[in-house]
Structure 1
Amino acid sequence: MPSKYRRGLDITTESLGVFRRHPKLAILPLLSLLAVGGAFALLAAVAFRHGIVDSVLTNDRYKYGALFCAFAISSSVATFFNAAVVHCASRVFDDEETSIRDGLAAAWRVRRRIAVWAVVAATLGTVFYILDEKFGAFGSLARLVFDLTWALLTYFIVPVIVLDHADGIRRQLRHSGSLFRDTWGESVSASLGVSFVFFVVALPGLVLLGAGYFVLHGSLALGALVGGGLIVVAAIVGSQTVTAIVRTALYRYATEGDRVGPFAARDPDTVFPEN
């Protein structure tokens, strides 16, 4: 069992190497953050313009509608740009030329699957938020169980949407869940490895943000806040990019037996052995 986690951490290290050789992949998650931020800013402007902010905060119908829209926007935009990263990573693994435009075009080709996925994710997210809010401890427990189960079940959902070429949300979820079951040790340890690496990267930014907000004043505070924010954003973007690389490589190996990316230089007997 420990060897599964050791392999996951090795995959993390080698995926970071892939990222260093192809840093332009980080442009796609950055565009995702900008798009989500822009969409939320537009929705907020519309709410203020039509004077419905108070209704969104106090009226359940408006509040849950706004929550559904927020879930749908964040899920669809994040999935779209992650799909572009997955496509580009898969082409990089095959030593083929790729580009940001190529990744975006690939994501656009599966836009209907992404839209269906976003609606399903937003609907379930809203339902369990309501349960959490209306049913006390039981609702909170149900939401906690759902969040954990959903995260595991959908671990490979983006590679499945982009690379599987199969329609049907049920089939996509089954495939993603099956892949996670087969690679759970490597998947979990790789995810933890990526999170740890980029937490360390973000730490100076968090320190600067804290200093700028609580300690410094004037231009020094502003400089610390801006610098810290940029470091944290860079860490988030890097984490999303490397996570997409890891999941694409795991998906390719688990489905096709391809030793690509982080697996390329490894002995086949050390990748997912039976023991």
Structure 2
Amino acid sequence: MSRFSRGFQLFKETFGILKKDRELLLFPVLSGVVALVVVATFVLPLFFSGVLSGVGTSGSSPLAYVLLFAFYLVSYFIVIYFNTALVSCALIRLDGRDPTFMDGIHAASGRIGKILSWTLIAATVGLILRLIRGDGDNLLASLASALLGAAWSLATFFVIPVIVVDDLGGFAAIERSWKLFKSTWGETVIGSVSLGLVFIPAVLLLLVGVLAMVVGSFEAGLVIIAVALLLWVVSAVLYGALQGIFVAIMYLYATTGEVPDAIDRSLVEGAFVPKGSLR
């Protein structure tokens, strides 16, 4: 219970920082909008034309893999670029200064080379995990893909702030990220999971909508589900901004031992449970 309480308090204090710089919400919004444009103009035409059908199966064509990798490359670049801008602004705020939207854009644009190198690696790993999962019919393959993906996320937890602060890219950024994570925090993430609290209202509303449809009020249930999906999108934007701030806080503590004045030090120290700890 103490872990959940600590996670909830950290969530509230991270949210408090976001309220000071609401323009940070623009970065996940733009990331999502640009990604949707890519899907609409690139993926959907290929999907309906049949080019991408059966990817991950023995009948897939080499062209399908090439196009899928191209999509991964573009979509990952979009996400990483705007995440870099977001974390840059968060670091400025945590340093006691007042960031602007363009501060983030300039910071990300000045590190395009590092972002591209990290994007290439991330897209390659993403494609490999997709191929391991296959068409999703094999439960063991899907589980293996999920576990490997989770391990990869932990190992690369600090890559974005490493790009911003240490000006490293590619494998050097991954190595630096893994050392920071392993030596400072251990293996069990608590704080990052707490940010998922933003999705609870949407999930509850979705369940209400499904229940309404089951008991016979189909139209009302459909409306509730539509509102729940809209709330989910809003929650995803909020989560993206909070995650960027959270990663910046963790990076500062991992590298300097310092905690921003707006954050309770005990919450940051307890955000990750060291390996072997039973707390």
1:229 maps to what in 2?
A: 229
- The residue correspondences of 1:168-179 to structure 2 (distance < 5 A) are 169-179=170-180
Measured against aligned partners, the alpha-carbon deviations of 1:177-236 in whole angstroms (never above 9, x if no partner) come to: 122221247x711011111x112132255347647987543xx67754553332111111
TM-score between both structures, scaled by the size of structure 2? 0.80
- The residue correspondences of 1:246-261 to structure 2 (distance < 5 A) are 246-260=246-260
The residue identity in structure 1 corresponding to 2:17 is V
The reply on whether 1:53 has 2:55 as its aligned counterpart is no
Cα gap change, 1:45 to 1:194, in 2 (>3 Å): closer
- The residue correspondences of 1:34-53 to structure 2 (distance < 5 A) are 34-44=33-43, 46-47=45-46, 53=49
The residue identity in structure 1 corresponding to 2:49 is V
2:202 maps to what in 1?
A: 202
**2-structure distance, mates of 1:31, 1:205:** 26
**1-structure distance, mates of 2:208, 2:70:** 33
Cα gap change, 1:70 to 1:3, in 2 (>3 Å): same
Cα gap change, 1:43 to 1:23, in 2 (>3 Å): same
**Identical positions, percent:** 24
Shift of 1:7: 5.2
Q: Secondary structure of 1:56's partner? A: coil
Q: Secondary structure of 2:167's partner? A: coil
**C-alpha root-mean-square deviation of aligned residues, in Å?**
3.4
Shift of 1:8: 5.0
Measured against aligned partners, the alpha-carbon deviations of 1:95-114 in whole angstroms (never above 9, x if no partner) come to: 21211122112111112211
1:157 maps to what in 2?
A: 159
**2-structure distance, mates of 1:176, 1:162:** 12
Cα gap change, 1:202 to 1:5, in 2 (>3 Å): closer
- The residue correspondences of 1:91-240 to structure 2 (distance < 5 A) are 91-133=92-134, 139-140=141-142, 142-167=144-169, 169-181=170-182, 182-184=184-186, 188-195=189-196, 197-207=197-207, 210=210, 215-217=217-219, 224=224, 226-240=226-240
Higher fraction of helix: 1
**2-structure distance, mates of 1:224, 1:76:** 34
**2-structure distance, mates of 1:4, 1:225:** 32
Q: Secondary structure of 1:259's partner? A: coil
**2-structure distance, mates of 1:5, 1:175:** 29
Q: What runs of 5+ residues in structure 1 fail to find an aligned partner?
A: none
**2-structure distance, mates of 1:204, 1:140:** 27
**2-structure distance, mates of 1:140, 1:227:** 31
Q: Secondary structure of 2:190's partner? A: helix
**2-structure distance, mates of 1:207, 1:78:** 30
**2-structure distance, mates of 1:106, 1:146:** 31
1:76 maps to what in 2?
A: 77
Q: Secondary structure of 2:52's partner? A: helix
The residue identity in structure 1 corresponding to 2:179 is S
The residue identity in structure 2 corresponding to 1:39 is V
Contact 2:73 2:119 survives alignment (8 Å): yes
